[in-house]
């Protein structure tokens, strides 16, 4: 239901744009988020967005990452600029219809129980 793309390898300071195709979410109001995970650590939310465009960002990505959506294309995006090695991770797209807010969709325990997930796309940032 959710398919990520756009990951890859870049050098420090580079940019990537991740995309998430949400083909089966048409016609419903839902919130979406981007999470990332490195081996040995919990998955963490980095950005979230509500149907009305309200956004939330994790502190370390504020000013560098931009989450956006195109509901007509059933797509979610994450524009990532000024990347650092600390951004290296598997990035996951997640969606949930209810409860729907940036405050809930960014919570791993909520999304683990209720959300829908993609398979992830790897982002690797080298020095």
Tens of pLDDT, residues 23-49 = 877 656 789 999 999 999 999 999 999
Q: How confident is the model at residue 107 (pLDDT cuts 50, 70, 90)?
A: very high
- In three-state form (DSSP H/G/I as H, E/B as E, the rest C), the secondary structure along 49-118 is ECCCCCEEECHHHCCCEEEEEEHHHCEEEEEECCCCHHHCEEEEEEEECCCCCHHHHCCHHHHHHHCEEC
Q: 87's torsion region: left (phi>0), alpha (psi -120 to 50) or beta?
A: alpha
Mean pLDDT of 79-103: 95
Q: How confident is the model at residue 5 (pLDDT cuts 50, 70, 90)?
A: very high
Q: How confident is the model at residue 73 (pLDDT cuts 50, 70, 90)?
A: confident
Instruction: Enter the tokens of residue 56.
Output: 């939330």
> What pLDDT score was predicted for residue 99?
83
Instruction: Enter the tokens of residue 117.
Output: 């997930």
């Amino acid at each position: 239901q959710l398919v990520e793309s756009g990951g890859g390898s870049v050098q420090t300071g580079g940019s990537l744009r991740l995309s998430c195709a949400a083909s089966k979410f048409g016609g419903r109001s839902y919130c979406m988020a981007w999470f990332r995970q490195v081996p040995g650590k919990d998955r963490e939310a980095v950005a979230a967005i509500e149907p009305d465009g309200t956004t939330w960002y994790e502190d370390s990505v504020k000013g560098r990452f931009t989450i956006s959506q195109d509901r007509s294309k059933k797509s979610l995006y994450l524009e990532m600029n000024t990347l650092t090695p600390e951004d290296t991770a598997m990035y996951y797209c997640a969606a949930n219809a209810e409860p729907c807010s940036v405050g809930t969709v960014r919570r791993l325990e909520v999304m683990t129980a209720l959300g829908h997930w993609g398979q992830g796309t790897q982002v690797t940032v080298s020095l």
